Amino acid sequence: MGSFPDIRTNLGDYVKQFVDFLDTTLEGFFDFIFFISSRTINFLDDLLVTMPWWCFVLIIFLLGWYFKSVFSGILYSLFIFLIGSFGLWEDMMTTIAIILTAVIICLLIGIPVGIWMAFSKGFSNVMRPLLDAMQTMPSFVYLIPAIFFFGLGNVSAIFATLIYALPPVIRLTELAIRGVDQEVIESAQSFGSSRGQMLRKVQLPQALPTIMAGVNQTTMMALSMVVIASMVGAKGLGEQVLVSINRIDIALGFEAGISIVFLAIIIDRVTNGIAAKFQRGIK
Amino acid sequence: METKIKIDHVSKIFGPKPKSVIPLIKEGKTKNEILAETGHTVGVYDASFDIKKGEVFVIMGLSGSGKSTLIRCFNLLNKPTDGSIYIDGEDIVTYKKQDLKKVRQEKIAMVFQHFGLFSHRTILANVEYGLEIRGVSKDERRAIALKNIEIVGLKGYEDKYPDELSGGMQQRVGLARALANDPDILLMDEPFSALDPLIRREMQLELLDIQDRLQKTIIFITHDVNEAFKLGDRVAVMKDGHVVQVGTPEEIIESPANHYISEFIKDIDRSKVFQAEHIMIKPNALVSLKDGLNVAIKEMEENGISSVFVVDRGRRVKGIVTIDDAIQAKKEQKSLSDILRDDYAVVEKEEYINDLIPKALESKYPLAVVNDEDKLIGFILRVHVLSGLVSDDIEESNEYYY
């Protein structure tokens, strides 16, 4: 008697129907996305793999040196060298290519959406719960429609990564634009700035440090998706972790895992350094 | 002088339905009644006054009196809920977007309390901003910006960023940025309030100096009575959104419109408002050179004074004679011109009491007050300087004696 009444809400079915509907009606659109994403990944991957190894290590050193310190530069290039010495050089390059592609697409979508939210209270109210859902929904769930739209492979991985990693850059862009000092806005207005001039010459430059903090977070979240994304066929370090789980291969698991940690440290510190540089330029 | 700006029954209401409150204002309900009845806040309550071309018009009031709201109506950063604002005879409230943009770009510039500088731009780029918006060519706007940076005394700082400058210097940048647009009208929203007193005084003097050269129409907001009276050709006092009184500093001090204003101006430094001509007395005894000794002695005796100024035909001061000297000279058969003393002090009629005090202390004789043509128009005794510092309501303070 106390058991739940015999009611079944088929919400999942509706979502499935919706996804089916999207797949058929927006097929061309998805093909386009697929084309762009796969070309970008392949281009970056080829570029990174064909680059002489010492050249890449040097680039990492220079980035670390410029945005942090000489010591950081040496440390980061040592990290990269270690990853190579684990025999994971090409996997690392694939991972970097996937992350870069995902982050570029995130910024292309996220920054305009964030700006729009900053200007439109209504749009912001609609988007905010959506962003919450995107961030809290278990990220595995995104894998299913991703396969559905794009099949197994790197593009699906990017799609899932995108949904998970997009919210921070959107949120922080909105926050940054809204947070520009009211008097600075008024002074730009008082000179007769048009809306476009205001955005280009005042609001965006003023907001840049905070937006960069969003870019940093988005990048880190994209990196945190690499293992999950490998379940839909993404190559790279994530795939190696997955393989090691299947084989219960502690050695490989640790090497691939620590490689991801190294990458995370480098990417975090460098993007942070970039954000700090902007901050100094602006304050 | 011709009227530059005329504001006519301007009200600014904040709340969900501002227009609905206008009839209540027309009925004469108070700000508090309107807040209680409708939940709307009245920022500016039915303000009307004229501002003349080339004058420094100060709007003074405590925080919350609506002065910052009102000044933002002049460039429509706040659009008035009701009423008209005429600039050069045109009602800007009815302006379309494009016209408004043009007015803001060409006619009106604003200086802000916390400077409102663009922290991502160099000083030069900050000052260039208004010109850049207007589409002035790169070389031209650079030249204009450099000129204005020099006017405010910041030459050499062009490539610095705002945060590398002190507060006073930042506000100079704000001023240069506003001047670069060569506006007719300068809106200044408590521009010196964020600065420390020394820098503030320096900036006030410099503003007067710049105004002397450029002759803009300036609307200046302040909560500081001394600043208002020092800078303002005319002053409007605001309270609770109402413009309570408009007048010259002297008019307001002489006849405050109500108790609120007299309270407000109680601790005003009168020595910086009143000038020599306000406290001098017109000479009823004057001796001219050709009159001779006897006339001089007679004048002094009749008026019971111990010295008298001697003037020429053009009423220009030639010297001063004392009664002792005159009597002595009469015995010795000397003439008037032999005993003229020249160690008296001359002051211009516009000199502030503040500046007269040291002169009055040093001089043994009354101060001679002259006008622009050097003619003697009055004199000031030490006691006049002192009484000029005290407000007229002496009777009030008499209470303390009983």
Please give the pLDDT value at position A115: 95
| Nearest neighbour of A190 by CB, restricted to B110, B120, B134 | B110
CATH number at residue A278: 1.10.3720.10
Chain B residues with beta carbon closer than 8 angstroms to that of A188: 118, 129
Q: Is B75 on the interface with A (CB under 8 A)?
A: yes
Domain assignment present for residue A231? The answer is: yes
Beta carbons of B105 and A202 less than 8 Å apart: no
Token digits of residue A108: 């292309």
pLDDT in tens, B324-367: 888 888 888 888 878 888 888 888 888 888 888 888 888 888 88
CA of B237 vs chain A CAs: smallest distance (Å): 24
Beta carbons of A183 and B113 less than 8 Å apart: yes
| Nearest neighbour of B133 by CB, restricted to A186, A192, A208 | A192
CA of B209 vs chain A CAs: smallest distance (Å): 24
Domain assignment present for residue A25? The answer is: yes
Give dist(CA B187, CA B123) in Å, integer: 20
Give dist(CA B81, CA B22) in Å, integer: 8
* Beta carbons of A106 and A173 less than 8 angstroms apart: no
Q: Where on the phi/psi map is residue A194: left (φ > 0), alpha (ψ -120 to 50), or beta? A: beta
Give dist(CA B29, CA B47) in Å, integer: 15
* Beta carbons of B162 and B117 less than 8 angstroms apart: yes
3-state secondary structure of A113: helix
Q: What is the pTM of this model?
A: 0.75
pLDDT of B400 over the 90 cut: no
pLDDT in tens, B99-147: 999 999 999 999 999 999 999 899 999 999 999 999 899 999 999 999 9
Beta carbons of B120 and A184 less than 8 Å apart: no
Domain assignment present for residue A4? The answer is: no
Give dist(CA B82, CA B353) in Å, integer: 43
Residues linked to residue B51 through DSSP beta bridges, in sequence order = B5
Query: In chain A, which ranges are continuous DSSP H helix?
Result: 11-25, 27-50, 53-67, 70-85, 89-119, 121-136, 143-150, 154-178, 182-190, 195-197, 204-224, 226-230, 237-247, 250-282
Stated as kind and residue range, the H or E segment containing B57 is strand B56-60
Percent of chain B with pLDDT over 70: 97
DSSP state of B275: B
Q: Give B183-240 as a DSSP string.
A: -SEEEEESTTTTS-HHHHHHHHHHHHHHHHHH--EEEEEES-HHHHHHH-SEEEEEET
DSSP state of B375: B
CB pairs under 8 A between A and B: 72
Closest chain B residue to A184 measured between Cα atoms? B116
* Beta carbons of B116 and B68 less than 8 angstroms apart: no
Give dist(CA B323, CA B308) in Å, integer: 8
Measured in whole angstroms, how far is the alpha carbon of residue A128 from the centre of its chain? 18
Q: Is A188 on the interface with B (CB under 8 A)?
A: yes
Domains observed in chain B: 3-107+183-268 (3.40.50.300), 277-388 (3.10.580.10)
Give dist(CA B366, CA B320) in Å, integer: 9
Please tell me whether the interface predicted TM-score (ipTM) of this complex is above 0.85: no
Beta carbons of A205 and B120 less than 8 Å apart: yes
Domain assignment present for residue A94? The answer is: yes
Chain B residues with beta carbon closer than 8 angstroms to that of A191: 104-105, 109, 129-130, 133, 181
| Nearest neighbour of B77 by CB, restricted to A181, A189, A208 | A189
Please give the pLDDT value at position B141: 93
Beta carbons of B118 and A202 less than 8 Å apart: yes
Domain assignment present for residue A253? The answer is: yes
pLDDT in tens, B135-183: 899 999 999 999 999 988 899 999 999 999 988 899 999 999 999 999 9
Give dist(CA B315, CA B287) in Å, integer: 10
Domain assignment present for residue A60? The answer is: no
| Nearest neighbour of A183 by CB, restricted to B108, B112, B129 | B112
Beta carbons of B116 and A186 less than 8 Å apart: yes
Number of domains in chain A: 1
Q: Is A191 on the interface with B (CB under 8 A)?
A: yes
> Cα-atom radius of gyration of chain A, to the nearest Å?
21
Give dist(CA B400, CA B384) in Å, integer: 23
Domain assignment present for residue A91? The answer is: yes
Mutate to test the interface with A, among B77, B105, B121, B133 (most CBs of A within 10 A): B133
Task: State the 10-residue block means of pLDDT for chain A, 283 residues long.
Answer: 83 86 83 86 88 92 91 94 92 91 92 94 94 87 84 87 92 94 92 91 91 91 89 89 92 93 92 78 50
CA of B71 vs chain A CAs: smallest distance (Å): 12
Q: Is A6 on the interface with B (CB under 8 A)?
A: no
Domain extent at residue A241: 11-50+86-282
Please give the pLDDT value at position B402: 35
Burial class (CB in 10 A: 0-12, 13-18, 19+), B193: middle
Q: What distances in angstroms separate CA B97 from CA B14, B102, B178, B284, B319, one per listed residue?
A: 22, 9, 21, 64, 66
Give dist(CA B275, CA B271) in Å, integer: 8
Mutate to test the interface with B, among A190, A197, A206 (most CBs of B within 10 A): A190
Domain assignment present for residue A75? The answer is: no
